[in-house]
């Protein structure tokens, strides 16, 4: 049995990161080290970093900042003690001039002394909270990726970055919509409360069954689609803004931190 | 100028109650003594009171109990220091054998040594919180009573009381639906979060424009109807349960307490 296949919900964050570092874990991190915060990564040259920090500050729902590294540092004690940012994610994406050019297993060879790492909250944390509260999350029940959509909602331009909001969608019946809003409100650092519910056309989504990223899921007649700001937004913004060089995690292949999910609850 | 017409949002709760006691205020209390909790009253003989208390405990969303008096007492220090329960409400309703038989200006002549008073939270408090947060409440903007509906949602029978939930409806756009859920969640003692949103048919409401109580309000294409448990529910329950004798406030003619609205916020 490989180290990767022996990883599961009970694995420690350290074990997951070590498996990624050793090249044994190459797949998505969903379901691993349950109860610990997984984060989106955006890694930019220092010349772009101050602008991106302003962009995140201006758009906290899609870009909730959990931590920012010192320039050149491959560690970040706010996330984990034994972290190697360049190797502890199962898969990375490289961007050049606004295009995602490569997906690689580590970025040690791409590392530069001026790179600044941004760790952004991820919906896995609030999905865990929804499930702990007894709600069923459709794409998890159906074994799919969450459906995600580009919207007509313009982000606040800042620091040279701009673009439109990307949202994820989870359907619930009315009583669970109310519960889901209450529960996710407690987690502003992982996208927080939804940004929209009901008619998808009002935010520029023409076809609920044809998501721009992820997989479609079924929506029953008595259910309401609920839309949250999504961590894919910053990746789309890097492309739309034509940034000269950037690294991100590959979608679904997150950095597993040592932060317990419960530490991100407001109350 | 009469004492009644000189009452307004800046009036003290004591001034409003005194005007009612003196027979100078006979009309609804909406908008008076802004910032202070107004309550629904249910007054029952002690023989029924223990059962009704169990009913409220089992159905806290429509029947959120703020205070219960000692049998026979016309005072209740949890609500106000100088209170006369039998005279400080502008209009009361008398029920006999499950029928509302009279509307009267005071109930001193009906008072009995075995009467127990229940004070139940009222949506005025959360509407005040919604408006303070910048939301527009349609029926207030349109100068109407809130639309209220009988539903197919059965309450939990307890203590000899039973019936169906009555709800009030306020329409909002999606972003404000989310805000309204967050804000009203903070006020569980005044009905708290909504019980339903979206399709009215799912809770047995066939025609949104024909409320069972109150007035219809307009709902725009980009708006979602949101339904809260309503303080009219216990009055309907008294009728449906055929109670031999009861007194309530007359709808809209509430008891104004000395409790600041802010004291009912959970967080």
Nearest 5°: phi and psi at B151?
Answer: -120, 175
Q: What is the CATH number of the domain that holds A27?
A: 3.40.1640.10
Q: What's residue B1's pLDDT?
A: 41
Q: What confidence tens digit (pLDDT) does each residue in A132-179 have?
A: 999 999 999 999 999 999 999 999 999 999 999 999 999 999 999 999
Tell me, yes or no, whether A115 and A142 share the same domain: no
Question: Is residue A78 domain-resident?
Answer: yes
Contact B175 A195 (CB under 8 A): yes
Is the domain of A112 the same as that of A147? no
| pLDDT score at A2 | 53
Q: How many angstroms separate the CA of residue B192 from the nearest CA in chain A?
A: 11
> What tens-digit pLDDT sequence spans chain B (267 residues)?
455 568 999 999 999 999 999 999 999 999 999 999 999 999 999 999 999 999 999 999 999 999 999 999 999 999 999 999 999 999 999 999 999 999 999 999 999 999 999 999 999 999 999 999 999 999 999 999 999 999 999 999 999 999 999 999 999 999 999 999 999 999 999 999 999 999 999 999 999 999 999 999 999 999 999 999 999 999 999 999 999 999 999 999 999 999 999 999 998
Q: Is B88 found in the same domain as B152?
A: no
Which residue has tokens 């900042």?
A: A65
CATH number where A161 lies: 3.30.2040.10
Q: Judge if B132 and B63 occupy the same domain.
A: no
Of the candidates B194, B202, B267, which has its C-beta nearest A178's C-beta?
B194
Q: In what order do the strands lie in the sheet with B223-229?
A: B148-154, B164-173, B223-229, B196-197
Q: Are residues A184 and A55 in the same domain?
A: no
The answer as to whether A8 is a domain residue is: no
In a domain, B6, yes or no: no
Contacts of A267 in chain B (CB under 8 A): 267
Q: Are residues A129 and A164 in the same domain?
A: yes
Q: What pLDDT does residue B5 have? A: 64
Residue A201 lies in a domain: yes
Model pLDDT, residue B2 = 53
Residue B8 domain flag: no
Find residues 163-182 of chain A whose CB sits inside 8 Å of chain B.
174-175, 177-178, 181-182
| Inside any domain, residue A5 | no
Residue among A185, A195, A202 whose CB faces B222 most closely: A202
Work out the minimum CA distance from B88 to partner chain A, whole angstroms.
Answer: 37
Q: How confident is the model at residue A3 (pLDDT cuts 50, 70, 90)?
A: low
Domain that holds residue A116: 13-122+241-260
* Cβ atoms of A104 and A124 closer than 8 Å: no
How many domains are contained in chain A?
Answer: 2
Candidate from B178, B195, B222 with C-beta closest to A181: B178
Asked if B175 lies within 8 A of A185 by C-beta distance, the reply is: no
The answer to whether residue B2 is domain-embedded is no
* CA–CA dist A240, B163 (Å, integer): 57
pLDDT at A105: 97
The tens digit of pLDDT for each residue in A195-244 reads 999 999 999 999 999 999 999 999 999 999 999 999 999 999 999 999 99
**What pLDDT, in 10s, does the model give residues A193-207?**
999 999 999 999 999
Distance to chain A for B267, nearest Cα, Å: 9
* Cβ-based neighbours of B51, under 8 Å, separated by 6 or more: B158, B159, B160, B161
A198–B175 C-beta distance less than 8 A: no
The rounded mean pLDDT for chain A is 96
Q: What is the dihedral of CA A67, A68, A73, A76, to 10 degrees?
A: -10
Q: What is the pLDDT of residue A1?
A: 41
Round to the nearest angstrom and report the end-to-end CA distance of chain B: 41
pLDDT, residue B233, reads: 97
ipTM field? 0.89
């Amino acid at each position: 049995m490989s180290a990767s296949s022996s990883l599961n919900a009970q694995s420690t964050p350290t074990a997951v990161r070590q498996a990624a570092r050793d090249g044994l874990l190459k797949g998505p991190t969903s379901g691993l080290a349950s109860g610990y915060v997984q984060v989106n990564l955006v890694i930019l040259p220092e010349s772009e970093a101050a602008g991106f920090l302003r962009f995140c500050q201006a758009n906290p729902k899609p870009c909730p900042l959990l931590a920012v590294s010192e320039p050149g540092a491959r560690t970040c004690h706010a996330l984990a003690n034994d972290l190697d940012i360049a190797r502890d994610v199962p898969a990375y994406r490289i961007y050049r001039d606004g295009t995602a050019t490569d997906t690689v297993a580590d970025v040690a060879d791409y590392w530069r002394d001026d790179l600044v790492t941004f760790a952004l909250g991820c919906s896995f944390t609030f999905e865990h909270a929804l499930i702990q509260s007894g709600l069923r999350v459709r794409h998890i029940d159906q074994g799919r990726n969450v459906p995600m959509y580009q919207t007509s909602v313009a982000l606040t331009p800042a620091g040279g970055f701009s673009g439109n909001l990307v949202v994820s969608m989870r359907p619930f019946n009315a009583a669970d919509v109310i519960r889901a809003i209450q529960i996710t409100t407690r987690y502003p650092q992982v996208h927080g409360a939804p940004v929209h519910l009901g008619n998808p056309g009002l935010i520029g989504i023409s076809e609920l069954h044809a998501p721009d990223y992820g997989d479609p899921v079924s929506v029953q007649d008595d259910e309401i689609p609920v839309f949250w700001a999504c961590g894919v937004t910053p990746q789309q913004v890097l492309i739309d803004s034509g940034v000269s060089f950037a690294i991100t995690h590959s979608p679904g292949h997150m950095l597993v931190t040592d932060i317990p999910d419960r530490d991100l609850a407001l109350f």
